[in-house]
Amino acid sequence: MNGDTRGAALGGGEIAGVPTRFDFRAELPALDAWQRIHLLNVAGAGVSRIARLLAARGVAVSGSDPADLPVMASLREAGIDAQVGWDAERVADVDAVVVSSATKEDVPELRAARERGLPVLHQAQALALATQGRRRIVVAGANGKTSTSAMVAWALRAAGRDCGYAIGAELVGRGRNAEVGTAPEFVIEGDESDGSFVTYRPEVAVLTNVRPDHLDLYGSFETVQRAYDEFLATIPRGGVLIACSDDPGARAAADRQRDRLRVITYGFGVEGQATPDLHLGTPDHRGMVWESVLQDNISGRTLNLRVKVPGAHNLLNAAAAHAVVVHASATGAHGAGGDAAGADATVVEGPVDPALEAASLAGLADFAGASRRFQVRGEAGGVVVVDDYAHNGDKVAAVVRTGAALARETGHRVVVAFQPHLFSRTRDFAAEFAAGLDAADEVLLLPVFGAREEPLPGVSSQLIADRLTTSHRAVGSLEELPDAVVESARPGDLVLLVGAGNVTTAGQAVLDALRAAS
């Protein structure tokens, strides 16, 4: 193995001038240059899916994790040597090591890999390796990435394209967050939070929105915007960008790429702005089913777009997915490194295949959702409990608006149990969280889930409480939440458990408490 290959992913890099732990722009070798790859924290959802994808490509895959979770047994059943605990000797005979952003530098196996001069890859780089030679479709944006990625994969499969996918949640009905697939297309949920989305070099990209998120890394919204510009710059000239023109950030980013990319826009339309290529009409809903007229200004067709995952934002996500299936195609040779710079990506103009169009719409109407995206956990005592991963202001507002529309349709209330995620995010966006939560009839505020962060002086859920105008009260711990829900909820109400932390683990306890009290 030559020195360039061994050092392919060593050292840090930068995005938008911000230092990153990994050089996500590094050229990766052909996958067959590495016969044995070892993955750290292999029980994690993101790393475990990459282990399976690499194994499916014929790589001898091994992995370690300190936790003996059920996924370890399933990895072993898939032929992956998954071991519990750390042992530096496990990297003695491997060609490369894969880590996640959460892997600490003091992990013995990582230290040993560094000492041996082995290539150390971030999981996104490993995913790029595993998808070499595939037609990558990457979904990026502050909000809606997971749902849109899931819809793209679902609709492509409904249209007869057995695409691969790797997304941040399981597809309801398939129970998986990744599949290899046999078609050229591979759908990836990009991650802007650590800058890793620049590693994929997609032929087709979807941009849902550009918002001031992850300021703990980027520092300012202007830097966030530059990071998205750098991601879009990795799409080869002539590639396809599908962007939500309702969002000012996505619209501006798309406009900056029009001289080199084929841009398709979608949205409900904004006064004073150009009509979107895929133009949604006023949404209507009956219970969980939402629909809208979709005027396809590329094909000249007027369609009916229907989804059974609630919310106007999901109609936007579905319009983006439909654009991928019906209007974005790519042909051409792929380089060994997965760089599609030689490909000829095209937009399908004019009449489209009616069967393809119908299959896409039918697939989207059948889409059952992604885990923790307005996922109904159950009903007890006449109260429906829904779990959602929303963790920034826009996502929280969309989820609460959707819940309020559903509850009030039947004359009932929506009660939101909200667990803020990250101290820095709570500090920076307390007003936005409060504005989104104010659409609820009552808010139960849990303590901040710090995740990777240490507490910050003066930062707590009280910052949000101070800005709320709707009825609200503090809940001291997750263990107290079931009783708090029983006190607040009435038969017919909708209870939303919202946040990216461990609030999701309270779902069954809340249902049990409601059942016991009824």
User: Is position 147 annotated in a ligand binding site?
Assistant: yes
Structure tokens given for 408: 């009030």
User: Is position 64 annotated in a ligand binding site?
Assistant: no
Q: Which residue has the tokens 């859920």?
A: 461
Q: Write the CB contacts of 111 (distance below 8 Å, at least 6 apart in sequence).
A: 88, 105
Concatenating the DSSP letter of every residue in 453-481 gives: PPP-TT-STHHHHTT--SEEEE---GGGH
Do the strands 164-171 and 135-140 form a parallel or antiparallel pair, or are they unpaired?
unpaired
User: Is position 434 annotated in a ligand binding site?
Assistant: no
User: Is position 395 annotated in a ligand binding site?
Assistant: no
List beta partners, residue 84: 65
User: Is position 249 annotated in a ligand binding site?
Assistant: no
Structure tokens given for 172: 């309801």
Helix (H) or strand (E) holding 439: none
Q: What distance in Å separates the CA atoms of residue 156 and residue 149, rounded to the nearest whole number?
A: 11
Q: What distance in Å separates the CA atoms of residue 279 and residue 179, rounded to the nearest whole number?
A: 31
Ramachandran bin of 105, using left for φ above 0, alpha for ψ from -120 to 50, beta for the remaining angles: alpha
Q: Please give the DSSP secondary-structure letter assigned to residue 173.
A: T
User: Is position 117 annotated in a ligand binding site?
Assistant: no
Could you tell me the CA-to-CA distances from 120 to 48, 97, 100, 113, 347 in Å, in that order?
17, 5, 10, 7, 37
User: Is position 461 annotated in a ligand binding site?
Assistant: no
The CA-based dihedral angle spanning residues 239, 246, 178, 346, taken in that order and rounded to the nearest 10 degrees: -20
Concatenating the DSSP letter of every residue in 3-70 gives: HHHHTTT-S-EEETTEEESS-TTPPPPPGGG-SEEEEESTTSHHHHHHHHHHHHTT-EEEEEESS--H
Residue ranges for the known binding site are 141-147
Residue ranges for the known binding site for ATP are 141-147
